[in-house]
Structure 1
Amino acid sequence: MFILGLTGSIGMGKSATAEMFRTLGIPVHDADATVHQLMGPKGRATAKINQVFPGCLAENGAVDRQKLGAQVLGDDVALKKLEAILHPMVRGEERKFLRICQLQRRKIVVLDIPLLFETKGEKRCDAVCVVSATKAIQKRRVLARSGMTQQKFNVILKKQMPDVQKRRRADYIIFSGAGFRVARNQVKKIVQEIQG
């Protein structure tokens, strides 16, 4: 089974690209979606996070990402505590996903991990695909998100490896700034190459 790591900095179009792999029938494990699940109303990480970061729950019992963000953004010690709770759980879910795909005799699977290089996740992959776009496109996409500010964007960028370094370390690069059709063709080409 070929494990393709999919990554890209914020606003580069990684989620849309992951969807293109899914459309081709490739199973995708989404680390971000797993985090959302773990921090949901009945999520496995919710109580533990609220214990370490009191007052971060929403009315529905899920972790309120805005409240949690206010406690961890820009605070490395707090962020490390949060990662110590979430990362092992996310890895556990990833292992479960890979086991299921192995049993289903899947030829290719995708691990969609935003901080793939930053967490040394590339070591668990056979190849890495980086989704990239120009800085102008990235900035426009990110600042269009609800609740996003230039300051928050800067903090997030500081946590992420620069796009140019990611591209240098990639086996495949998908440029998402030229529209969906171009990106879809790049995804198809990658899948064909791996299958071939």
Structure 2
Amino acid sequence: MKWFGLTGGLGCGKSLVTEIIRRCGYPVVDADRIVHHLYDTDLDLQMALSKTFGLDIFDNGKVVRGRLVDIIKSDISKKKILESLIHPKVSAKVDEIKARLERNKAKMAFYDIPLLFENNLDAKFDATIFINAPAEMVYQRLAARNAWTKEEVNVRQSWLLSNKEKSKRATYVIENDGSISMLEEKVEHLLEELVK
């Protein structure tokens, strides 16, 4: 099975790209969904999070991600601690899903992972795909979707490699700089190339 790492800059349209890939019939493993599931169901993880970050990060037994982000914003060293708690569990779950896809004879599959390059995971994939978009479009999308100010966008982007660096490291770059139908065409064209 061909295994592709998929990532994108904040507000660059990665979710839309994964939706297009799924519509075309290819499986997409979503790191964020796995993290949400682990936050909600993994009691060992919940205990470790409560010891490290306090009970204030929970609401009705569920982790409130926004509260974790607030803690990390005020103390960036906490980000590494959070990653050390969650990443091994996510990796184990992804390995399990990937093995199941291989048993089911999937021709190719995609792993949607926000921190692909930040965590130097490039070598785990047959190829990597980066979704990019112009900065002004990104600000507009994030302001509309998340009600983030430019300052909030810049803070979150400061935690990541630049889009320029990710574009250099990626095997393929999809520029999301037009309409949805243009993006669909670009994704479908890439899928045709990847399936060969």
Per the normalisation by structure 1, the TM-score is: 0.93
Q: In the comparison of the two structures, how many residue pairs are matched?
A: 195
Partner of 2:67: 67
Partner of 2:10: 10
Q: Tell me if 1:175 matches 2:175.
A: yes
Tell me the SS of whatever aligns to 1:96. helix
Tell me the SS of whatever aligns to 2:106. coil
- RMSD of equivalent CA atoms: 1.5
Deviation at 1:172, TM superposition (A): 1.4
Residue identity opposite 2:21 in structure 1: F
Closer/same/farther in 2, CA of residues 74 and 179 from structure 1, 3 Å limit = farther
Gap regions ≥5 residues in structure 2: none
Cα distance in 2 for partners of 1:171, 1:103 equals 26
Cα distance in 2 for partners of 1:47, 1:152 equals 29
Cα distance in 2 for partners of 1:141, 1:124 equals 31
Cα distance in 1 for partners of 2:74, 2:161 equals 16
Query: Which structure carries more helix by proportion?
Result: 2
Deviation at 1:147, TM superposition (A): 5.3
Q: What CA deviation, in whole Å up to 9, does each residue of 1:112-146 have, x standing for no partner?
A: 01111110111111111111110000111112233
Gap regions ≥5 residues in structure 1: none
Q: Tell me if 1:108 matches 2:108.
A: yes
Tell me the SS of whatever aligns to 2:130. strand
Tell me the SS of whatever aligns to 1:115. coil
Cα distance in 2 for partners of 1:7, 1:158 equals 16
Closer/same/farther in 2, CA of residues 164 and 123 from structure 1, 3 Å limit = same
Tell me the SS of whatever aligns to 1:178. coil
Partner of 1:38: 38
The answer to which of 59-68 and 8-17 deviates more is 59-68
Per the normalisation by structure 2, the TM-score is: 0.93
Closer/same/farther in 2, CA of residues 74 and 163 from structure 1, 3 Å limit = farther
Closer/same/farther in 2, CA of residues 116 and 74 from structure 1, 3 Å limit = farther
Percent identity at matched positions? 29
**Structure 1 segment 1-196 matched on structure 2, within 5 A:** 1-40=1-40, 42-44=41-43, 45-146=45-146, 148-196=148-196
Deviation at 1:179, TM superposition (A): 1.5
Closer/same/farther in 2, CA of residues 59 and 159 from structure 1, 3 Å limit = closer
Closer/same/farther in 2, CA of residues 154 and 179 from structure 1, 3 Å limit = same
Deviation at 1:28, TM superposition (A): 0.6
